[in-house]
Amino acid sequence: MTAVLGAEATETTVLDDARAQLSQAVEVLGLPSEVHAMLAAPRREVSVSIPLRRDDGSVEVLRGYRVQHNYSRGPGKGGVRFDARVDLDEVRALAMWMTWKCALLDVPYGGAKGGVRVDPRGYSTGELERITRRYTSEIAPLIGPNHDIPAPDVGTDEQTMAWMMDTYSVGRGHTVLGVVTGKPIAVGGSLGRASSTSRGVVAVAVEALRHVGIAPEGATAAVQGFGKVGRGAARFLAREGVRVVAVSDVNGAVHHADGLDVAALEAYVDATGSVVGFPGSTPIESEEVLTAYVDLLVPAAIEGVIHAGNATSVRARVVVEGANGPVSTAADQMLADNGVLVVPDILANAGGVVVSYFEWVQANQSYWWSEAEVDERLVERMTRAWHDVLAYATENQLSLRLAATCMAVERVYRAHEVRGLYP
């Protein structure tokens, strides 16, 4: 089970956090205990063995998972993670958050998630392809455009999705573009999908800064993680005139008080693979990114990084969760007590699943939209969701997280209610 980093023995796991959030929402909404039990239990889980022939001829057996938390509102939807920390409980938590995220943004999906317990950095491209194809064939009975639609997450990318789509299609005997999202453009990907999570994070961050009386132009920000989400978030923040003063990745962190040149940093990362050593920047400890004196903090790496042990050191006025579950339950309360506004993951990073939905619609219709259309519809949905959650939170005197979770849980509950219980 994934424990939160640097936390005390009493700190919660991500699954504890996800379950606690559901319990709080159920209590606020006054739902019956049997509804709580149904919403807490994943509908389907599969654990698969992935025998991998390594490049040196040896065979290693990896473990993979796919969890479908809920599909009352439509097919399961959720990423596939390749990471050494992946376990069933982490996948369960992430699948539950996907259910709420899809309901909150009103995309017609349930929630799912998958993962393989592997550190992709230790494997060649050929080995990663074999892992992906075997994992896909093992979970193939569960996935499909009308069943469950995977997408990229930590440690996977559009190439992984192309292999998944190809493997699934070979098994079916024809090309099935709608089985995954986050694909390359050449095989039915959507324009704007690659940067959609980051674009959504920044659309919401700008609204949140304005809400607390900080003009985005000239505001300061720190971003943890420089992968698919963090890197784009830094880029779009810079375009909004925000000074991105600190960023980190798994190797280390860099700082520049006047704001890092994000375009130059991206080119540097493309060339070297890390933010560490970026010319003109000062190296800092990774933890200092989380405690930097900035207006906005975007944790966009992994879960559990803001916990009871460091929450009181967070200096940002606004925390926008680019990652899933970066703030533990205990830390959430401590940040609130210190007047830090936390924009929850199920709202903040939902841009990815919104454009995944657009990609699926385009793939199923074989009719492609322009990048401007995708961007306009994405920003419109994210901004609307921000205002809806803010209004609900204000009206019911709840945190943004609890408000967002209540709105989502209520929508899923309504779907359960009208469908009825089979048999």
Q: Which residues bind ligand NAD (CB under 6 A)?
A: 152-155, 197, 224-230, 248-250, 286, 300-302, 322-324, 349, 352
CA-CA distance, 183 to 55, in Å (whole number)? 26
Six-digit token pair at 14? 């991500």
Sign of the Cα pseudo-torsion (140, 142, 145, 150, in order): negative
Q: Where are the beta strands (DSSP E) in 190-324?
A: 220-224, 243-249, 252-255, 282-284, 296-299, 318-320
Q: Whole-number minimum distance, CB 59 to ligand NAD, in Å?
A: 26
Residue (214 or 352) nearer to ligand NAD, CB: 352
- The residue at minimum Cβ distance from ligand NAD is 227
Residue (26 or 389) nearer to ligand NAD, CB: 389
Q: Whole-number minimum distance, CB 4 to ligand NAD, in Å?
A: 11
Q: Whole-number minimum distance, CB 329 to ligand NAD, in Å?
A: 17
Residue (31 or 161) nearer to ligand NAD, CB: 161
Q: Where are the beta strands (DSSP E) in 201-263?
A: 220-224, 243-249, 252-255
Residue (160 or 167) nearer to ligand NAD, CB: 160
Q: Whole-number minimum distance, CB 6 to ligand NAD, in Å?
A: 10
Q: Whole-number minimum distance, CB 382 to ligand NAD, in Å?
A: 12
CA-CA distance, 252 to 262, in Å (whole number)? 16
Residue (26 or 298) nearer to ligand NAD, CB: 298
- Cβ atoms of 96 and 146 within 8 Å: the answer is no
113 is catalytic: yes
CA-CA distance, 157 to 82, in Å (whole number)? 10
Which entry of 77, 101, 113, 183 is annotated as an active-site residue?
A: 113
CA-CA distance, 55 to 58, in Å (whole number)? 7
Q: What is the DSSP string of 135-197?
A: HHHHHTTT-BTTTEEEEE-TT--HHHHHHHHHHHHHHHTS--GGG-SS--GGGTPPTTSTTHH
Query: Would you please indicate which residues are annotated as catalytic (active-site) residues?
Result: 113
